[in-house]
Structure 1
Amino acid sequence: MELIQLQPIVNSILFSFVGVIILILGYLIIEKITPENTWKEIVHNKNMALAIVFAALIIGISLIISAAIHG
């Protein structure tokens, strides 16, 4: 009976956390660059167009991060 290799599992968890942290940092940078508070604009003023743009931006950043991690 073979033992389970833990290194791939640890690598997967580590890279997942690194990817999430980079995604949050990317969002915070974009939040600082934009002239208005985007979270307030999306949640309180229900700006659907801005929500769609930010969703696309987050998906784009996620794809870049996953490609960089994957190699």
Structure 2
Amino acid sequence: MGIEWLKPAAFIGSIVYALIGVIIFWLCFVVIDKITPYNLWEEIVVKQNRALALVVAAMCLGISLIVAAAIHG
């Protein structure tokens, strides 16, 4: 196991893949927000729609798992 993760190439590669993952996640969330018939932020924060917040949280976890699997594999 050792300290291979301290090598500059491994560290920079991890940062780059993390940034790519966050950007892909953000783009997917924006697309899903645009295709829904209402404003997600207003529904969740202003109107306190907890059911929608749970659905969005599950969607975020799903997208995150897909992005992580794509980057890892």
TM-score by length of 2: 0.91
In structure 1, what is the equivalent of residue 70 of structure 2? Answer: 68
Q: Which of 20, 26, 29 is 2:28 aligned to?
A: 26
1:42 is displaced (CA, Å) by 0.2
Deviant stretches of 4+, over 6 Å: none
Aligned length: 68
* Structure 2, gaps ≥5 residues long: 1-5
- Structure whose residues are more often helix by fraction: 2
State percent identity of aligned pairs: 50
Amino acid at match of 1:52: L
1:3-52 per-position Cα deviation (integer Å, ceiling 9, x unaligned): x5210100000000000000000000000000000111000000000000
Per the alignment, residue 57 of structure 2 pairs with: 55
Gaps of 5+ in 1: none
